[in-house]
Amino acid sequence: MSEGTTKQFLYVNRKAPHGTVYALESLEVVLIGAAFEQDVRLAFMDDGVFQIMKGQDTTGIGSKNFAPTYKALGDYDVNKIYVEKESLDERGLTEDDLMPLTYEDEDDDWAEKPSIKIVSRAEMADLIDSSDVMFNF
Amino acid sequence: MAILHTVNKSPFDKNSLERAIGVAKEGSSVLMIEDGVYGAMKGASSSAMVEAAMKTVKVYALSEDLSARGVNDRVIDGVELVDYAGFVKLAAEHTQVQSWL
């Protein structure tokens, strides 16, 4: 994909992880899309913030636990992950309740850096405004 | 007429929990399952409503669904956790089951 234009892709995640299939579908599309070397950003807002909660264990409900897969996003160069602060606040959550998603920065001697950035609702609006293509889950 | 009200939607996404609590009469029970268990979280915008309801209504949450979502250690004090067998027992003990979808 050396030819052509690079577009800003934004995946907007607004659903809780296990009650519906949206979260898993989004994650799969993100991972597939990562092969196309576009500029990919992930947004988590509303119940979507529950997708990246620490300590999810689906053994008891007999469904696939895809939560650990989010930790692989950094290896696919998906390292711009935005979480809306207002959504965390409403649910009594802080950044410490989220999985520590990281990536290795090839421009900085492969230093491990956090992928998650907590943003305000206003910053989220700017993020949406500056995207070329949006996928909503 | 003790009714078991089950709620399977997140209180931040749907008003199912609010409606169930509003209808649940004294002596009846509310059981949170699936995404409904987010309603059992303390420190959230929904917590005060649930705590107020617990004065007249027994509130339960399904522990398997809490664990799946990583919220099993942040449940409001006094919300009773049940497993699937407990869910069946509750259904049998009440005269009716009303599902708030």
Encode pLDDT of B49-96 as tens digits: 999 999 999 999 999 999 999 999 999 999 999 999 999 999 999 999
Task: Count chain A–chain B contacts defined by CB atoms under 8 A.
Answer: 72
Bridge partners (DSSP) of residue A135 are A11
With 0-12 / 13-18 / 19 or more C-beta atoms within 10 angstroms meaning exposed / middle / buried, residue B80 is middle
Would the CB atoms of A56 and B65 count as touching at under 8 Å?
A: no
Are B69 and A63 in contact (CB < 8 Å)? no
Confirm or reject contact between A120 and chain B (CB < 8 A).
Answer: no
Count of beta carbons in the 10 Å neighbourhood of residue A96: 7
Closest Cα in chain A to B63: A60
Interface test with A, best of B17, B71, B73, B81 (most A CBs within 10 A): B71
Q: Is A33 exposed, middle or buried (0-12, 13-18, 19+ CB in 10 A)?
A: middle
Q: What is the residue-averaged pLDDT of chain B? A: 97
Beta-ladder partners of A13: A44
**pLDDT > 90: percent of chain A:** 89
Listed as ranges, residues in chain A with pLDDT below 70 are 1-4
